[in-house]
Amino acid sequence: MRRFEGYGVLITGAGRGIGEATARRLAGEGARVLVTDVDGDRAEKAAAGIRESGGSAEALYCDVGDRASVEAAVAYAVQTFGTLDVLVNNAYACHADAALFEDESDETWQRDLDITLTGAYRCARAALPHLAAAPDRRGAIVSIGSVNGEQDFGNHAYSAAKAGLAGLTRTLAGHAAPRGVRVNLIAPGTVRTEAWSGRESGLEAAAAHYPLGRVGLPADIAAAVAFLASRDAAWITGVTLPVDGGILIGRPAWRRDMFGE
């Protein structure tokens, strides 16, 4: 199935993990993908891997914390592909919490919000006029949120940013709908990415809390992005879609302790 034949797609934070898997998935379905990342070498490596697999991909440095960098990336996508049909907001920042909340720094708080939430705002602002010009009302924004924006899983600033991203998704969806652009959010649970390198025991411990018995893979999230970005989701906008192995509905370890199940 090649649902994205002729589409131009821009993905932030796509040098590895969920972003790279999403770039591979959409390119595999015919999209021309701009792989952007604050690490330009990493972006080029990901794009090269897609090209080696027969897909169409370009790479570009992009810092979503900088308006000029974002606008340059959007302009490059439009110039290179002749169209911009899908924006995937995947870039984020997440710093460990201080032991006590009162010891949190303004700098850490601001960094997580600026990259995770305001960065998505910058990208959507730059991309929206082009998405609205996409043919057949196929323009779409899909942002990567988190279950942290829905319940308490720690990380104060990151969680606040992801919750804010869910709110932005709803308000932007209402604004963009008359312009033919859909805006949706995916809320992943724990996903096995490079961010967990050296902490494999933590992933194993986390898996016990998931009703489906495992943590997620980047491909699980990429599949959901492909759905929401495609015409298969033509009547869906303003939603948050959990892709979380069931973590938001219950925790098996707690049920076993309480009920012996």
Q: CB under 8 Å to 143, separation ≥6 — which residues? A: 88, 89, 90, 120, 165, 168, 169, 183, 184, 185, 186
What is the C-alpha to C-alpha distance for residues 26 and 22, in angstroms, rounded to an integer?
Answer: 6
**Looking at the predicted structure, is the pLDDT value of residue 255 above 60?**
no
* Catalytic residue ranges: 158, 162
With vertex at residue 205, the alpha carbon angle to CA 159 and CA 25, rounded to the nearest 5 degrees, is 65
Query: What percentage of the chain exceeds 70 in pLDDT?
Result: 95
- What are the contacts of 199-207 at 24+ separation with CB within 8 A? none
| pLDDT (tens digit per residue) in 117-160 | 999 999 999 999 999 999 999 999 999 999 999 999 989 999 99
**Looking at the predicted structure, is the pLDDT value of residue 259 above 80?**
no
Q: What is the 3-state secondary structure (H, E, C) of 141-205?
A: EEEECCHHHCCCCCCHHHHHHHHHHHHHHHHHHHHHHHHCCEEEEEEECCECCHHHCCCHHHHHH
**Looking at the predicted structure, is the pLDDT value of residue 28 above 60?**
yes
Domain ranges of the chain: 8-201+217-249
Question: What integer pLDDT is reported at residue 258 of this predicted model?
Answer: 41
How far apart, in Å, are the Cα atoms of 213 and each of 14, 90, 150, 205, 227?
27, 25, 20, 11, 24
pLDDT band at 254 (very low <50, low <70, confident <90, very high): low
What is the C-alpha to C-alpha distance for residues 145 and 151, in angstroms, rounded to an integer?
Answer: 12
Domain 8-201+217-249 in CATH 3.90.1170.50? The answer is no
